[in-house]
Amino acid sequence: MIHLAPEELEFTEITIKDLPLYSYDYDADFPPEGRALKEAIEAADGILFVSPEYNRSIPGALKNAIDWGSRPWGTNSFARKPTGIIGASPGSIGTAVMQSSMRSVLSFLDAPQLNAPEAYITYKAEVFGDDGEVKDGSTAKFLGHYMDEYAAFVARVLAANAPGHIGDLEPDAAKLSR
Ligand SMILES: Cc1cc2nc3c(=O)[nH]c(=O)nc-3n(C[C@H](O)[C@H](O)[C@H](O)COP(=O)(O)O)c2cc1C
């Protein structure tokens, strides 16, 4: 997906494997792993979630990372952050149920989401090489289109979030300006 993305996008993988299990008890003093996660989310212009589906839901490790990013209360790192959700699995529904669960969670966290295109990818060995290369032309074309749309969506949300934009005004002022 990185290779198929527009050139203006740069990617950084946000590590989640070293996070302890989130507990409210950490809120008074976040450990370095929790701080690093929040800083990485806040430094990014957008977050692209790439995940498998576990037992028809979000894998526990990913949900744990999201819980860390959302806390302590009042410091939700996902607020207004543009997001995309994509996943692949050997099953024919290609992580659709995980993605649906993610949309509920991200909505609650006030994270705008790329709504279309949706991307439910069925993993087949003949489509993907050992190094992650997309060998199938139509899948590569679709994923390139997805990344183009993701880049455009991130740019739109960043513009809407910019200081002075209509969405940034007090509600009464915004109504008057329309
Ligand atoms: C605990 C567990 C639950 C799974 N549940 C689902 C599922 O609900 N739907 C699905 O399509 N695949 C499911 N799978 C298969 C995963 O999609 C598949 O193993 C995937 O390649 C795992 O990716 P990962 O190695 O990045 O974790 C499950 C796998 C595991 C280990």
Pocket of ligand 1 (CB under 6 A): 52-56, 89-91
Is the CB of residue 134 less than 8 Å from the CB of residue 140? yes
The residue whose CB lies within 8 Å of the most ligand 1 atoms, and thus the one to mutate among 16, 50, 55, 92, is: 55
Ligand 1 mean position, distance from CA 30 (Å): 30
Ligand 1 center–CA 91 separation, angstroms: 9
- Each residue's pLDDT tens digit, 53-105: 999 999 999 999 999 999 999 999 999 999 999 999 999 999 999 999 999 99
With the most atoms of ligand 1 within 8 angstroms of its CB, the residue from 51, 53, 57 to mutate is: 53
**What's the pTM?**
0.91
122: Cβ contacts below 8 Å, ≥ 6 apart: 88, 89, 90, 91, 92, 94
Q: What is the pLDDT of residues 123-155, one digit of tens each?
A: 999 999 888 899 999 999 999 999 999 999 999
Residue 171 has pLDDT above 50, yes or no: yes
- CA dihedral sign, ordered 109, 154, 16, 14: negative
- 95 CA to middle of ligand 1, Å? 9
